[in-house]
């Protein structure tokens, strides 16, 4: 028996797929920028990160130059090598949204 996730609708169009790809890339680029800045701040080399993550130095360079779309696992390993955790706030909390709306109304 096939298990299906209930949903109201399914969107499968080139425009939608492009939008998802663009958002995903933007999110990844932002994370990479922060990891790169933290690596530089701590005066670590790409080889230091490679040694700590088990990844190749060339792949660390490709990630940092945004020539390679890293998996979530790769980003987590990179972050852990710096002693930080990745936290994604994809949905604003209703309280934050209400406060923003209230601030605009003033």
Q: Is the predicted pLDDT of residue 3 greater than 80, yes or no?
A: no
* Tens digits of residue pLDDT in 17-68: 777 777 777 778 889 999 999 999 999 999 999 999 999 999 999 999 999 8
Q: What is the mean pLDDT of residues 5-17?
A: 65
Nearest-angstrom CA–CA distance, 7 and 53: 38
Other C-beta atoms closer than 10 Å to the C-beta of 34 total 14
| Domain of residue 82, residue span | 14-105
The two tokens of residue 95 are: 């309280």
The two tokens of residue 85 are: 């955790």
Q: Note whether residue 58 is domain-resident.
A: yes
pTM (two decimals): 0.66
Q: Note whether residue 1 is domain-resident.
A: no
Q: Note whether residue 88 is domain-resident.
A: yes
Q: Note whether residue 61 is domain-resident.
A: yes
Q: Note whether residue 30 is domain-resident.
A: yes
- The count of domains in the chain is 1
Q: Note whether residue 19 is domain-resident.
A: yes
48 Cβ partners below 8 Å, 6+ apart? 39, 81
Nearest-angstrom CA–CA distance, 53 and 105: 48
pLDDT of residue 69: 86
Check which CATH number belongs to the domain holding 26 and give it.
1.10.260.40
Q: Note whether residue 3 is domain-resident.
A: no
């Amino acid at each position: 028996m096939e298990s299906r996730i209930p949903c109201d609708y399914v969107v499968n169009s080139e425009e939608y797929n492009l939008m998802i790809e663009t958002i995903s890339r933007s999110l990844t680029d932002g994370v990479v920028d922060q990891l790169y800045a933290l690596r530089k701040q701590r005066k670590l080399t790409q080889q230091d990160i490679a040694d700590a993550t088990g990844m190749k130095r060339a792949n660390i360079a490709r990630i940092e130059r945004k020539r390679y779309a890293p998996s979530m696992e790769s980003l987590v390993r990179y972050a852990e090598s710096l002693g930080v955790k990745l936290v994604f706030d994809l949905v604003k909390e209703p309280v934050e949204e209400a406060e923003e709306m209230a601030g605009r109304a003033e």
